[in-house]
Structure 1
Amino acid sequence: MRLLVVCLGNICRSPMAEGILRARIEASPLKGRVLVDSAGTGDWHVGRPPDHRAIATAARHGVDIAGLRARQFRRADAELFDWLLCADRDNLVDVRARLQPDAHPRAGLLLEWSGVGASMDVPDPYFGEMDGFEHSWRLLEQAADGVVARLLSAPGGRG
């Protein structure tokens, strides 16, 4: 199973999601069976580490994302990943606009796909303060737990 988490710049929400998903998967029976990566729809931060506030938030929760580097989502990702899980509806629209129509069903909202809530977005904390990063982290923790539960309960572990 291969999961790609997508946000706008790949320096806040998606690297935090990648970090918590990897940690939860590593601590589950899915260890070694699920690949997680992240990307952004924009190219502004390609090659840069996550925002220092995202790194600090993840570290406070025992997850190290300092070594991650931003990359831009590309059409080829639809062939490499089973699911394209977007942080918000705008990201989902952008991702689907770059895909062939037959790939659309494998692109969805992270919080909805994980069972946290229908049509829910992970708010972008970039222009706010640390409390926004903590709020997004709490949602991403719930999403990570939901992803693990979904994958464990799926026939053949395919989600």
Structure 2
Amino acid sequence: MVSVLFVCLGNICRSPMAEAVLRHKISERGLSQEIVVDSAGTGDWHIGKGPHEGTRRMLDQNGIGYEGVKARQVQSDDFEKFHYIVCMDKSNGSNVRKLPGGENAKLLFFMDLLPEEELREVPDPYFTGNFEQVYDLINAGCTVLLELMIRENL
């Protein structure tokens, strides 16, 4: 079983969107028994809450379910539970690295999956309001990540 954890700031916009999009792509490929996906935030403001309305709107528009997706905070034991920890921006990565056990974790930055893009961080739509842009980036990056996981692990 391969596992991936997406991490953003509050776990209500970017990382739950990526969680839902990747789960959808995994299901379409018939790999739901092979790959586990979760998301978490570096902050604790939204623990237990569902995705932001802008995230829900984009997922609904694209026929992607998000049932059971609830915000949680990243924990040190996530480094043992997940093969891939994918951070949405450098600040998230820095905060994850500060957790005990995080020094040795294999971290990826989401935009490294899309080297052709000028942006090097996934913009936070909580502040920008541009959920469409974030959805397009996440959709493209999740396709690349899924192929990477299949190639490396399945």
Q: TM-score, normalised by structure 1?
A: 0.88
Q: Percent identity?
A: 34
Instruction: Structure 1 unaligned segments of length 5 or more: list them.
Output: none
Kindly tell me the number of residue pairs found equivalent between the two proteins: 151
Q: Does the 8 Å CA contact 2:3/2:81 hold for their aligned counterparts?
A: yes
Q: CA deviation at 1:109?
A: 0.4
Q: Does the 8 Å CA contact 2:48/2:70 hold for their aligned counterparts?
A: yes
Q: CA deviation at 1:102?
A: 5.1
Aligned residues: CA RMSD: 1.7
Matches for 1:1-159 after TM superposition, within 5 Å = 1-65=2-66, 67-100=68-101, 103-104=104-105, 106-112=106-112, 115-117=113-115, 120-129=120-129, 132-154=130-152, 156-157=153-154
Q: Does the 8 Å CA contact 1:55/1:66 hold for their aligned counterparts?
A: no
1:36-92 CA-to-partner distances (Å, cap 9, x unmatched) read 000000000001111111111111011122531100001111111111100111100
CA separation of 1:101/1:141 partners in 2, compared to 1, >3 Å: closer, same or farther? closer
Q: Does the 8 Å CA contact 2:59/2:66 hold for their aligned counterparts?
A: yes
Moved over 6 A (4+): none
Q: Does the 8 Å CA contact 1:78/1:99 hold for their aligned counterparts?
A: no
Q: TM-score, normalised by structure 2?
A: 0.91
> Which amino acid letter does the alignment assign opposite residue 31 of structure 1?
S
Instruction: Structure 2 unaligned segments of length 5 or more: list them.
Output: none
Separation of aligned partners in 2, 1:99 and 1:90: 17
SS class of match (2:125): coil
